[in-house]
Amino acid sequence: MALYPSQEWCDSWKKAMNNDPACIEYGKNWGLDFPGDFLFEVTPGSGLDKTHYLWADIKGGKCLELKMFDSPGEIKPGFYVTGSYGDFKPVVKGEKDFIEGVVRALFKLKGDMGKIMRNAKYIRAMAASISSFKNEYLGE
Amino acid sequence: MGDIRIIGDLNGLGASLLPIMEQNIDNPELMKKISRISGSLVATEKSTGVAITVIFDKGSISLKDGPVEKPSAALWTDFDTLAAYSCGELNPIVGVLKGRIKVRGNLLKLLKMVTIMRTD
């Protein structure tokens, strides 16, 4: 089991996304003519002591790269998601829905919202793939 | 880009729809259709109960967190249906007839007002 967050966990999520038929099907047009990468800013709390950044480079339904950083550096992602570790944890566990978190403003999502709306099925599939494998968590 | 007046802090539903609405107010054809409307539209995401109100005042548009007491029209739907509507995949009348969108109030006004949330 990988620890969330860690590079090992990033590798597991990348593998899960790339093997998920829904991600492949609904994401086939994602990021082809626009920057489809996501930068997740996970803020401290619930066992996480400092902010972590997870960057997922996604194109055409495939995750090309998924990396963890201490600082976002020069990355200018197509989509920027901010949320606390305490709010991300139930999503990673599959207990809470990511989109519901966005609607409730637990997560701030910045980027071309037209693309998000047009690809809502892909966003849902991508979020579902995050809970398709078992993990360990900080603070538990 | 035109301006949409934001009243209070926006919830996630409002923040998701705001960029689409901002894009739309730069569309002269669409604005011509809605510039004579006065009234308010409450949109509620039914799984969370999170609501926004869009207030139309003869060409000026405001977006408010939460519902107002007596809107001209109101709709209830889930995020996926709202997404399908907003990107032009779902005809709102079909959505209503299939029960995916529940509506109340002045339906004709609602159909005009809701175009501010649609990007085709």
Question: What is the model's pLDDT at position A9?
Answer: 97
Q: Note the pLDDT of residue B120.
A: 73
Residue from A103, A106, A124 whose CB has the most chain B CBs within 10 Å, to mutate: A103
Please compute the mean of the pLDDT values over residues B55-72 and round it to a whole number. 96
**Least CB-CB distance to B20: which of A99, A100, A114?**
A114
* Residue A48 DSSP code: B
**CA-based nearest residue in chain B for residue A123:** B80
Number of Cβ atoms within 10 Å of the Cβ of B119 = 17
Give residue A90's pLDDT.
Answer: 97
In this prediction, residues B46-71 reach a mean pLDDT of 96
Q: What is the mean pLDDT of residues B39-58?
A: 97
Write the CB contacts of A26 (distance below 8 Å, at least 6 apart in sequence).
A61, A119, A121, A122, A124, A125
Does the pLDDT value for residue B1 go beyond 60? no
Query: Cα dihedral sign for A29, A68, A9, A124?
Result: negative
| Residue pLDDT tens, chain A, 140 long | 899 999 999 999 999 999 999 999 999 999 999 999 999 999 999 999 999 999 999 999 999 999 999 999 899 999 999 999 999 999 999 999 999 999 999 999 999 988 999 999 999 999 999 999 999 999 99
The whole-number average pLDDT for the span B53-57 is 97
> Cβ distance B54 to B38 under 8 Å?
no
Position B2 scores a pLDDT of 62
> How many distinct structural domains can be found in chain B?
1
How many CA atoms within 13 Å lie on the side-chain side of A45? 10
**Alpha-carbon span A140 to A46, nearest angstrom:** 9
Where are the extended beta strands (E) located within A7-137? 38-43, 52-59, 62-69, 79-84, 108-110, 135-137
pLDDT score recorded for residue A97 = 94
Nearest CA in chain B to A112: B19
B15 lies in which domain range?
5-117
Q: Average pLDDT in the B48-76 region?
A: 96
CATH of domain A2-134: 3.30.1050.10
The answer on pLDDT for B64 being more than 90 is: yes
Whether chain A has a CB inside 8 Å of the CB on B16: the answer is: yes
* Single-letter code of the amino acid located at A98: F
Cβ contacts (< 8 Å) between B82 and chain A: which residues?
117
Q: Which two tokens stand for residue A53?
A: 């950044």
- B75-91: string of b/e by CB count within 10 Å (b at 16+)? bbbbbbbbbbbbbeebe
Phi, psi torsion values for B23, nearest 5 degrees: -65, -40
Question: What's the whole-number average pLDDT of chain B?
Answer: 94
Mean pLDDT lowest for which of A30-39, B20-29, B66-75? B20-29
pLDDT for the residue numbered B33: 87
Give the alpha-carbon dihedral of B18, B19, B23, B26, to 10 degrees: 50
Domain CATH for B16? 3.30.1050.10
Q: Verify whether the Cβ–Cβ distance B17 to A113 is below 8 Å.
A: yes
What is the value of ipTM here, to two decimals?
Answer: 0.88
